[in-house]
Amino acid sequence: SKARVLVVGGGYGGATAAKYVRLLSDYRIDVVLVEPEPAFVSCPLSNLVLGGSRELADLTTPHGTLQSRHGVKLVRDSVSAIDPQKKTATLASGPTIAYDKLLLSPGVEMIWDSIPGLKQANASGQLLQAWKAGPETAALRQQLRAMPDGGVFAITIPEAPYRCPPGPYERACVVADYLKQAKPKSKLLILDANPDVTSKGPLFKKVWAQQYAGIIEYRPQHKAVEVDARSRTVRFEVQDEVKADVLNVLPSMRAGAIAVQSGLANSNKRWVNVNYLNFESTAAKDIHVIGDAIQVAPAMPKSGHMANSQAKVAAAAIVAELSGWEINPAPMLTNTCYSFVDAKNVIHVASVHEYVAAEKTFKAVHGSGGLSAAPNELEGTYAWNWARTIWADSLG
Ligand code: FAD
C-alpha cells in the first residue's frame, strides 16, 4: 500500500510541506492535510489591514489548489490527539487517521495565563491580539477606527522568542501612519518586555524619530504582568501601569496547542526541539515539526519565509526516508522579512542559514543577506511580489 504523510496545519509551513511531499515523491506518496480554517489568511501584510490600506480579502488564498492540482487530500477539521506509538492522529470530529510520517506546523498559541485577565478580555472582545490574521484583525481595526482623536493606542511586546520579531514594530508604524492622517492628536505607545528593539532596530528607531515624532513613544523593559479590561489598564513587573483607549496586548507564546498537549514541546515546555537535518522531533520518532512551533537555531526568526524554507527540507527528508533513498543532506535555509513603515514604504532584512554538521545546528552564513539603508517605495513593490510568490509556492 502507499505510504501516507499526515500534515497538521495548512499555514506557511504545513501547506508548503504538503505540496512538496507530493512533488518530490512524483505523486507516489499520499498526503492528507488537516486544517480547520476554510482558507489561508496571511499574517504577513496583515498589519496593513489595521492601517486601513488593505483588506483581509487581499491576503486570503483558498487551500483548494493543493487538492485539485496536487492531489493533497484536504480535511477541514483539527487534530485533537496524537498517538506516536500507534502512529495515528484523532480528529476533533472523532475519526482516527493512520500515518507513516506526521508533519506538524501548528503555529503558535498565546500563553494566556502569563497575563492574568487577558484570556477573559480576549473572549469578551475587549482586548485583542490579532496575532493570527483573521476576524481579530478586522475587529482590532474597528477599535482603532472608533478611537477618539487624542486617544492612546498601546501595544505590548512579550520577551523574545515570539512569532515574527519585527511584526510588533511594523504594526506600530502602520497604525501610527493611520493616526497621523486620521487622528493626529493621538499617541502610540510601544511597551516592550525586551531591553531593546529586537529586529531592524536602528531603522525602526529612525522612522519613529523622523516620521512619527510626537506620536510614537518606545518604552523598553516593560514586561506586562496583568490587565484590567474594563479600565483598559496594563500593569508591568516594574514600571508604572498604563491606560490606553485601544490596548493590543501580546502575551508570551509557545508552540501550537497540539504540540504542547502531545508532549512534544520539550524545550522549556514551550517549543519543540527538532533534529535540524530533517526536522524530526527529538521527543517522538516519525513526527516532524516545522515553523513557529520549533525551538529555533541561533539567529533564526519565527517567520513565514523560514517556515516555507524548513518545509522543503523536512519534505525532502520524509520523501527520501519513505522511498528508501540514501541521502546526505546539507540543508540551507533562507529568510527575507519586509516591514512596512507606512502604507507604501518598506525596509527589509535577509539572511541565509547553513546547517553546520559539527555543531548540529543552523548558523547564519557570514556575509550573507542584508538590510535596507532606508525605507523606500520600491521595496514596497518587492514586498507584495514576495507575498504573491510565496503564496503561489505554498498553495498554488
Ligand atoms: P501558521 O502559518 O500560523 O499555520 C498554522 C496552521 O495550523 C493554522 O492555519 C492553524 O489553523 C493550523 N492548526 C493549528 N493547530 C491545529 C490542529 N490541532 N489541527 C489542525 N490544524 C491546526 N513572516 C514573514 O516571513 N514575513 C512577514 O512579513 C511576516 N509578518 C508578520 C506580521 C504579523 C502581524 C504576524 C502576526 C506574523 C508575521 N509573520 C511574518 C510570521 C508568520 O506569520 C509566521 O511565522 C508563519 O505563519 C509561521 O508558519 P506556521 O506554519 O508555523 O504557522
One DSSP character per residue, 88-129 reads: EEEETTS-EEE-SEEEE---EEE-GGGSTTHHHHHHTTSS--
Which atom of ligand 1 sits closest to the CA of residue 293? 52
| ipTM > 0.85 for the complex | yes
**Which residues, 6 or more positions from 1, have their beta carbon under 8 angstroms from its beta carbon?**
none
- C-alpha torsion angle, residues 161, 165, 169, 171 (rounded to 10): -100
**CA of 75 relative to ligand 1 center, distance in Å:** 18
Angle (CA) 353 109 197, round 5°: 55
Per-residue confidence in pLDDT tens, the chain, 396 aa: 799 999 999 999 999 999 999 999 999 999 999 999 999 999 999 999 999 999 999 999 999 999 999 999 999 999 999 999 999 999 999 999 999 999 999 999 999 999 999 999 999 999 999 999 999 999 999 999 999 999 999 999 999 999 999 999 999 999 999 999 999 999 999 999 999 998 899 999 999 999 999 999 999 999 999 999 999 999 999 999 999 999 999 999 999 999 999 999 999 999 999 999 999 999 999 999 999 999 999 999 999 999 999 999 999 999 999 999 999 999 999 999 999 999 999 999 999 999 999 999 999 999 999 999 999 999 999 999 999 999 999 999
- pTM here is 0.98
Instruction: Please tell me whether residue 290 adopts helix, strand or coil conformation.
Output: coil
Smallest CA-to-CA distance from 333 within 377, 300, 288 is with 300
Cβ of 192: how many Cβ atoms within 10 Å?
25
**CA of 108 relative to ligand 1 center, distance in Å:** 7
Q: Give the residues surrounding ligand 1 with Cβ less than 6 Å away.
A: 8-14, 34-37, 43-44, 46-47, 78-79, 105-107, 131, 163-164, 167, 256, 258, 291-293, 302-305, 307, 337-338
Q: Please tell me the distance from the alpha carbon of residue 110 to that of residue 375, in angstroms, as a whole number.
A: 31
